């Protein structure tokens, strides 16, 4: 008897695109002075080159379609993180934005903070600060998506701590 396997929809695995769009690995040979100069723009040489290109050409932030203001980004089997347009979302109490591209960031909540606290922070911000129309629309969209995700029986949210390692500038020694 032959059994048929049900194919699951293919989920994207691994990290999100570094620049918010598909990329590929290339090798470059550059003079040491150019490498030093690029590292002053950004310690990540690829980001430095992209930043330099975009500033010099007035090129778009990304060539791909603009990402949604808020979306669930797959980070492995059955797991996703909330990603937002970090330029469109203001600072909210109890919420940190962890950048992963020029315009995108994951949301990280302070210890003890839940999805409901995030929704409440958005409501409070809208009431207290009376933001401009574009920010109001963005926050309203984020709040609606959070409500939709919270009510979706196929999703379950867990608050977890993440570790963020940040490089510090080299110290100059005083004599």
Token match 């979706």: residue? Answer: 152
Among 29-38, 64-73, 120-129, the least confident range: 64-73
The predicted structure's pLDDT at residue 40: 82
The predicted structure's pLDDT at residue 23: 81
User: Is the pLDDT score of 13 beyond 80?
Assistant: no
Mean pLDDT of 92-96: 93
Mean pLDDT of 148-170: 87
User: Is the pLDDT score of 107 beyond 80?
Assistant: yes
The predicted structure's pLDDT at residue 126: 95
The predicted structure's pLDDT at residue 16: 64
Q: How far apart are CA 29 and CA 78, in angstroms?
A: 40
**CA proximity to 82, closest of 101, 60, 108:** 108
Q: pTM for this structure? A: 0.59
Q: How far apart are CA 11 and CA 21, in angstroms?
A: 17
Q: How far apart are CA 76 and CA 64, in angstroms?
A: 22
- For residue 19, what are its two tokens? 């620049």
The predicted structure's pLDDT at residue 63: 40
Report pLDDT digits (tens) over 58-83: 554 444 444 578 888 888 778 889 99
Confidence of residue 12 (pLDDT cuts 50, 70, 90): low
- For residue 114, what are its two tokens? 């839940």
């Amino acid at each position: 008897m032959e059994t048929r396997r049900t194919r699951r929809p293919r989920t994207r695995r691994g990290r999100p695109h570094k620049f918010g769009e598909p990329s590929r690995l290339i090798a470059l040979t550059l003079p040491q002075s150019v490498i030093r100069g690029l590292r002053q723009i950004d310690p990540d040489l690829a980001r430095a080159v992209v930043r330099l290109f975009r500033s010099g050409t007035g090129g778009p932030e990304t060539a791909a379609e603009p990402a949604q203001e808020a979306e669930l980004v797959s980070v492995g089997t059955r797991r996703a993180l909330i990603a937002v347009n970090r330029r469109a979302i203001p600072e909210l109490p109890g919420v940190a934005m962890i950048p992963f591209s020029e315009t995108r960031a994951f949301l990280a909540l302070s210890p003890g903070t839940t999805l409901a606290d995030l929704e409440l922070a958005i409501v409070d911000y809208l009431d207290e600060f009376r933001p401009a129309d574009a920010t109001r629309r963005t926050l309203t969209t984020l709040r609606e998506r959070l409500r939709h995700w919270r009510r979706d029986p196929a999703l379950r949210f867990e608050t977890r701590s993440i570790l963020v390692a940040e490089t510090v500038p080299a110290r100059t020694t005083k004599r």
